[in-house]
Amino acid sequence: MLNLPTTFCQKYRDLLGEGQAEELFAAMADAPQKAYRINQLKSFQQVSYSQARPVPGISNAWYGQVGGRDPEWVSGTVYSQEPAAMFPAYSAAVQPGDRVLDLCAAPGGKSTAIGEALRGQGLLVANEISASRAQILRENIERWGIANALVTSAAPASLAAQFPQFFDKILVDAPCSGEGMFRKNPAAAQYWSQDYVLTCQRRQQEILLAAVKMLKPGGELIYSTCTFAPEENEQIVSWLVEQFDFQVQPLALRGVKVASGRPEWAQGETCLSQTIRFWPFDGLGEGQFVAKLRLPGQETQPCPSPKKKLAKPKIPQGGLTRSEQELVATVLDYFTLPTCLAEWANRSRVSHGHVFIPVLPPANLHVKVVNNGSELGLLKKNRFEPGHQLAMLLGQVKQERVIDLSAAAYLSYLHGETLPVKTALRGFVLVSYHNFIFSFGKVAGNGILKNFYPKGLRILKKD
Ligand SMILES: C[S@@+](CC[C@H](N)C(=O)[O-])C[C@H]1O[C@@H](n2cnc3c(N)ncnc32)[C@H](O)[C@@H]1O
């Protein structure tokens, strides 16, 4: 049973009126809504979940529950996401070729949707200030098969120094007081206070000051929170409009029951009614606020393709030598390569043995980089060991060199065990369960499948 603080209840009685406030409290006591998205980068796969109830307004998303061990999840074919939380990335209307920043990105629900929409063209910078959460963000982006993301872990102000007026679109899915998530996480309600709401507001303004510096003239800012508090929603948008002349853009959501932002909860600007609010009593999902704002200035120019931008120097810095290329080819030549890996030999760089295809020139980056583009694997003495991101990228297309495991073998593999396998294949193979590719493995001469599922992702035996 959700135990809401008295001051919280009184605040929403004052704002919404007695009747609607009671509707809100009743809805907050209901079970949270669960949903999932299907990855269009891996769309040839058939998932096992029901597709009876689509999430309105979002293509490729359905209500339903996904398990953390399901091969659909482990292979990056589905992402479990609260339905209302799908709308900020959708509202960004990202096009292939855009340069997009997701400034507060972990665990990556919105970054995976943005990276998917880019279809390998343009750039996603996915940033997360917390180092540990940035690792989870990296894992999720990797699992989703996104080749053109730069994952960073920086404070927004440091990122702004690196990328002045750089992005066409910036999503700020701000840290907030989280009122809209109380029914998912009832314990959080106990820490609510009006002071905390105001602390969040100040932090949001700080983050947005940095975001504005990184937006190109004419660029778009998508601001979202999962709280009901006007101080963190309409009042923030009102401040952005006043400080920077932003124009609030209408959000056209077809077939979705959604409420408008409330001008009277800020300075009364009518444009605030073009922001949107998801209330749990409207039935779609949890609480969410979304605003889309355009910075004045020239329309954004289509960005130069990464290829043009990353003009190739005559002697590429950190490029692969002929013999290194040959070592990498001893693995890659056995697989069908998706478009994102085309011309890998010319585009790859090597740093401390790590072979990767950068999405931005590494030498120019002066922030903490967690992953730059696509990591292919590790050069060791006279051999190349393919990395997990490569397996996730190869999973975008049908592969022949795959070992499909039984249910028991799949679990053992997730635990990190080696397995005996009946196959004529030798050397590096992709490993799947129910045909969902989720790892590399290596078959030794004695028919033992060595485990290449990353240690950090393995499931402990007692779980
Ligand atoms: C609402 S969550 C982001 C959820 C994410 N967009 C998603 O869809 O998976 C907000 C994130 O902001 C981060 N954060 C906290 N304080 C911050 C700050 N001062 N500057 C930037 N990010 C911050 C948190 O660590 C958290 O990961």
User: Domain total for the chain?
Assistant: 2
3-state secondary structure of 396: coil
Residues 122 and 258 placed together within one structural domain of the fold: yes
Q: Is the pLDDT of residue 303 over 60?
A: no
Q: Rounded distance, CA 289 to CA 259, Å?
A: 10
Within-domain flag for 380:
no
49-100, pLDDT tens digit by residue?
999 999 999 999 999 999 999 999 999 999 999 999 999 999 999 999 999 9
Amino acid identity of 272?
L
345-402, pLDDT tens digit by residue?
999 999 999 999 999 999 989 999 999 999 999 999 999 999 999 999 999 999 999 9
Residues 142 and 267 placed together within one structural domain of the fold: yes
Active site residue 9: no
Residues 96 and 218 placed together within one structural domain of the fold: yes
Residues 225 and 91 placed together within one structural domain of the fold: yes
CATH no. for residue 88?
Answer: 3.40.50.150
Residues 71 and 194 placed together within one structural domain of the fold: yes
Residues 279 and 409 placed together within one structural domain of the fold: no
Q: Rounded distance, CA 405 to CA 176, Å?
A: 43
pLDDT at res. 299: 61
Within-domain flag for 368:
no
First vs last C-alpha separation in the chain: 27
Within-domain flag for 407:
yes
Enclosing domain of residue 134: 6-294
pLDDT at res. 45: 77
318 annotated among ligand-binding-site residues: no
160: Cα within 13 Å, side-chain hemisphere: 13
pTM listed for this prediction? 0.95
Within-domain flag for 423:
yes
Within-domain flag for 37:
yes
Give me 373's structure tokens: 């583009």
Within-domain flag for 131:
yes
Q: Is the pLDDT of residue 124 over 80?
A: yes
CATH no. for residue 454?
Answer: 2.30.130.60
ipTM of the assembly?
A: 0.99
- Residue 61: name the closest of 87, 91, 37 by CA: 37
Q: Is the pLDDT of residue 315 over 70?
A: no
3-state secondary structure of 186: helix
User: Where does ligand 1 bind, in terms of residues with CB under 6 Å?
Assistant: 104-110, 128-130, 133, 156, 173, 175, 203, 207
Question: Among the options 226, 271, 303, 340, which is catalytic?
Answer: 226
Among the candidates 237, 272, 294, a domain finishes at: 294
Mean per-residue pLDDT for 252-263?
90
Residues 48 and 191 placed together within one structural domain of the fold: yes
